[in-house]
């Protein structure tokens, strides 16, 4: 499932291109999706188009509510 704030869409690729993306992604320790984003940003930058980075998704457990059970102590 796409994370909040990310646009999801179907992309049909030639199988050989997808395999090359998988190899590049693995070499860079990225997912194929992240690799595609990096390559698209690089291609846009070469054309003089800059794209601001979105704030990263928050990770981990959300902060506890002040009155949540179990906070007594």
Residue 5 pLDDT grade (very low, low, confident, very high; cuts 50, 70, 90) = confident
The 10 Å Cβ neighbour count of residue 1 is: 5
If you average pLDDT over residues 29-53, what whole number do you get? 93
Residues 14-31 pLDDT 10s? 999 999 999 999 999 999
- Nearest alpha-carbon partner for 35 in 45, 21, 17: 21
Separation of CA 46 from chain center: 21
CB atoms within 10 A of CB 33: 14
| pTM, two decimal places | 0.67
pLDDT at residue 2, as a whole number: 59
Q: Give mean pLDDT, residues 44-51.
A: 94
């Amino acid at each position: 499932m796409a994370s909040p704030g990310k646009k999801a869409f179907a992309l049909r690729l030639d199988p050989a291109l997808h395999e090359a993306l998988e190899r590049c992604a693995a070499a860079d320790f990225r997912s194929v999706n992240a690799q595609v984003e990096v390559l698209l940003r690089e291609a846009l930058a070469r054309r003089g188009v800059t794209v601001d980075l979105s704030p990263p998704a928050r990770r981990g457990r959300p902060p506890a509510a002040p009155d949540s059970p179990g906070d007594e102590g």
